[in-house]
A and B are shown apart, each in its own frame.
Chain A
């Protein structure tokens, strides 16, 4: 048993004790299942809600996501079930939602994917207009949203389809780029 003799052996016991304690303790939350990128996020959040107020203290933009992961190396934030609401007094509000989204810090662009929906608020007497498409990019620098994909708009008694769309979030104008077809429901 000369093997245990002398203080140098003690230093081996100290890390061994911590390792056993760590594995023993199951209370720490396991890594989230939605971590896709091999490099670990430097932080992640669950059920986030962000509200931006204007100078009068009125909510101007709100932003909620179920899961948020930030990846420092690639300068991206990955969002799960994001819902964004843009509203101000003069303009009807827009609510944009999707399955997931990726925010790119370099380009200040947000790419939404999977059942992307834009709900345009109408007057109380009217039903809201709903735009759906598979992919949408929002450019916060120019405050525009655009897609090259097929879109569908349900607006009261009308249904419109088109290919490609460009929306100006400031002027509340949406341009449908081609193959526009409208019919009454």
Chain B
């Protein structure tokens, strides 16, 4: 770079009047097959990015983002669950040594040690060797931590019936939550089913929505008598005639008006 006397500027600015060459640096003397980022490597990187984007968009199209019903703070039956990447912390708090009187161990001490060690890893593992076998302690600790996170996440997620959860919490617009309370079957619904299936058949944490059920009238009648899944038998205890009215009410409340 030119310094000292004889510098020329554009007008009265600080921009040098001397134009610099615009040729990429020469990497041929670098060790190995070193390549220039611009433009050689960027072209390949762009292709990898495009392939990744196609895969990502395929995922997005195949699985629309979930949305549950509008938040109802008064609901007491909803079982909370964090997003999957917090499940391991959530599961940790279910262990006896990390809950109740020892909750600080679960929310501060253990995560604090784990994430603190992660943050300070270069100072805890400060030997000169970079290869994994030259630093057995650090590598073992990390493998244990990864195994614990995977295990806790699996333990937490495997007991959840995700499909049933999604089914029970389908989004129904608050404006569309209307049922025909004058229907002869409504009183039986109110007496037998409403606690779990909601005042508007919208479902609660305890029972799925019935608004858009795909079950036939016969199936609904059988389920009301004999139960299904987590629903026990004999939930409906009226006469067959009442059952018929109830089933008719549920079928007639279907959103698509079948």
Asked if A and B are interacting partners, one says no
Please give the residue numbers on chain B whose beta carbons come within 8 Å of chain A beta carbons, in ascending order.
none
